[in-house]
Amino acid sequence: MKLVQIDNWRDYRRDGEQFLKTAQGAYNKKKKTFSADTLYNLTCMAIEKLIMAYLMKNGDLAENHTMGDLLRALQLHLGMLPELADKLLYMNDFQEICDLEHFTIRIPTEADVIMFLNIGEDVRTILSPHLYDPQPQAIQ
């Protein structure tokens, strides 16, 4: 069955790239206005947008937007991704806010922030070949 692309997937790709660039830049410049928690959320939004761009390009959506649900939807297309799975599930544990009666928030350390940014870059690297058309070859 051929799936139909969801039109605005490129907007999600662009937003994901911008969120990740903002988080990386803020961390590298040691901007005090960007707390570890803020960098976590920016990186999560980047990952969410990049995965959603991939899914939308392929005519699909995730059931929910937790890291676990995004991972499951992504693996339906790309197969098992055990290393990425471990990383996304690690990120998933910092905020469990879907159930208002039993939500948990864990404040990340600087080591966690470095890990988040690396995970964001891993997601971007894995999905880039699928989100950008290859450059046309020059005719010789």
Q: Is residue 47 part of a domain?
A: yes
| Enclosing domain of residue 83 | 9-131
Reported pTM: 0.88
pLDDT of 79 over the 80 cut: yes
Residue whose C-alpha is closest to residue 55's, from 136, 123, 115, 134: 123
Q: Is residue 4 part of a domain?
A: no
Q: What percent of the chain has pLDDT over 90?
A: 73
What is the predicted pLDDT for the residue at 134? 61
Q: Is residue 3 part of a domain?
A: no
Q: What is the DSSP string of 28-84?
A: HTT-TTS-HHHHHHHHHHHHHHHHHHHHHHTT---SS-SHHHHHHHHHHHH---HHH
Tell me how many domains the chain contains: 1
Q: Is residue 74 part of a domain?
A: yes
> How are the residues of the chain apportioned to helix, strand and coil, as percentages rounded to the nearest 5?
60, 5, 35
pLDDT of 138 over the 60 cut: no
CATH number at residue 31: 1.20.120.330
